[in-house]
Amino acid sequence: MSDAEQASDFDPTTQVDEFEPVDVFPSSEDMDLRPGADNCYKCTSCDTSCPVAEVDEDFPGPKFQGPEQWRLKRGEDVDIDDSILSCSNCMRCDDACPSSVPLSQMHNTARGEYVEEHMDKKSIEYLRNRMLSNYRTLASIGSKVPRLANFVMGLGITSVLGEKIMSIPSERDVPEFATETFRQWFKKRGGSKVTNPDKQVAYFHGCYSNYNTPEVGKAMVRVFESFDYEVLVPKQQCSGTPMFANGMLKDARREAEVNVRELGKAIENGADVVASCTSCSMALRQEYPELFDIEGIEDLSEHTYEAMEFLRIHEDLGAAIRESEVDPQSFAYHAPCHARNQGLDRQAVELFRELDGAHIEDVGESCSGISGTYGWKSEKYETSMKIGAEMFDHMEHAEGEVGMTECPTCAMQMNHGTGYEIRHPLELLEKAVA
C-alpha cells in the first residue's frame, strides 16, 4: 500500500489507544511500533509544543524523533539517533498532534532500542541512568535507616561526589526519606477503616508517596474512606515511568508484570485502581498497553483513574466541596504535563475554586522542566531550569506562596526554583471533606 493510500484510510477521530501494535522494523525484533508515522503531515504542532526544543536549539524535536526517524529507518539501514536521549518524555507531543500519531510510543521504543544496542553498559551515563530509573530499589534500602540515609545524603561532600562521580547535579537537594513509609503506616493502622465490598478501590501509591511523602497516601486513604470506600493496598512495584524515560524497557516490563498481576486480582474482585501521581496513572493507562503485551494489561488500563478524577466521576465531589471550608490560604497550582495528557489539567483549579477559604491560581501551561529523572542529570540541569523559568516566574507573581501539584518531581522543581512549600491537591481535599 502506498503512503497516500495509507493516509487516506486514516480516521482522525480514532483514539491513540485503538491502534494495534505491528512490527514495522523487520530488521529489529525489539522495535515494535504502531502504524502512525504516515499519518504525520509535518504540521510541526509537536515541535512547537516541545519544552526541550523551545530552549535547546540542538534538539531536533519530536517530529524527527518519531515519524521522520521511523521513515528513515524503514527506508535505510540506519541507527537510532542519540538525540533521543534528550527527549524528556513529557508526552506533550501526544496531546498536540492533530493526527493522533503515537509520538511518545515511538520515542519510548526508539530510546529503548538505542540504550539496549548502542549505550556502553559500563559508562557512567548508563550506570547513573539505571540508578535513577530504579529509584524504588534505592529508596527501599534508604527507608530502612531513614535518619542515617538523610544525614549522609544531606552532606555537602555527598553532593560534590555525586556530581563528580555520577554526574548528578550538586544543585539538587536529595529528597528525604520518611521515618515511616506509607505501607508501614497502613499496616499499623490495620488497613482500611471501611469494609465495603460494594465500593472498593486499589490504591497505586507509587514509589514517592510510599518512601518520601506518605502524607499524600494518608490523605488519599482518608478522603476515600470519607466517601465510604474500602481502600486496598495491593503488592506493587514502580510504575516504570522513570524506566521508560531512560530506555530501560526490560526493567519496566519486569515491574509491569507484577503490577498487572497484583492489581488485576483487585480488578477481578470488582475494584478500580486509583493513583495519586499523574505519571503513575499515565503509565498504567497508556504506556503499559502501548509497550507491552501482558495478559490483563488492557483491563488494568481501562480500570485505572487518577484519584480526584475517580471521585469526580463516581461521587458528587463538587457538592461536598461547596459544603466545606478550610482555613484561608492561597495556592499557586501547576498542572503536570502527564495530567494534561489525561485531560486533568484543570480539575484542581475548577474544584477548589468552590472551596470556601481556598484561593487557587493556575500558574500557566508551561512545563516544570524536571520531567522525572531528566533534571537529575548534570548535562540536563541547565535545560531543565530554562524550561522551568516561566513557571517559576508565574509562581512568584501569584498571590499564594504555597505551591500545589499532583506530580512529586514537579513538586521538587517548584520548591527548587522558588523555595515555596508544595502541597498535593489530596492534602487540601482531606482538610475539606475527611
- 130 and 194 share a domain? no
Q: How far apart are CA 231 and CA 330, in angstroms?
A: 30
**What would the pLDDT profile of 198-242 be if each residue is shown by its tens digit?**
999 999 999 999 999 999 999 999 999 999 999 999 999 999 999
Residue 15 lies inside a defined structural domain of this protein: no
Cell numbers at 90, concatenated: 513529557
Residue 148 lies inside a defined structural domain of this protein: yes
- 151 and 240 share a domain? no
Structural domain boundaries enclosing 61 = 33-118
- 420 and 405 share a domain? yes
- 299 and 392 share a domain? no
Domain total of the chain: 4
CA distances for 87 relative to 63, 254, 370, 393, angstroms: 11, 23, 12, 24
**What would the pLDDT profile of 28-60 be if each residue is shown by its tens digit?**
444 445 456 778 888 999 999 999 999 999 999
pTM over 0.75: yes
Where residue 47 falls (left for φ over 0; alpha for ψ -120 to 50; beta otherwise) is: alpha
Number of H helices, E strands in the chain: 26, 8
- 71 and 147 share a domain? no
- 186 and 309 share a domain? yes
Residue 13 lies inside a defined structural domain of this protein: no
- Block residue for cell numbers 469526580: 312
**What would the pLDDT profile of 358-402 be if each residue is shown by its tens digit?**
999 999 999 999 999 999 999 999 999 999 999 999 999 999 899
**What would the pLDDT profile of 88-127 be if each residue is shown by its tens digit?**
999 999 999 998 899 999 999 999 999 999 999 999 999 9
Mean pLDDT of the chain: 91
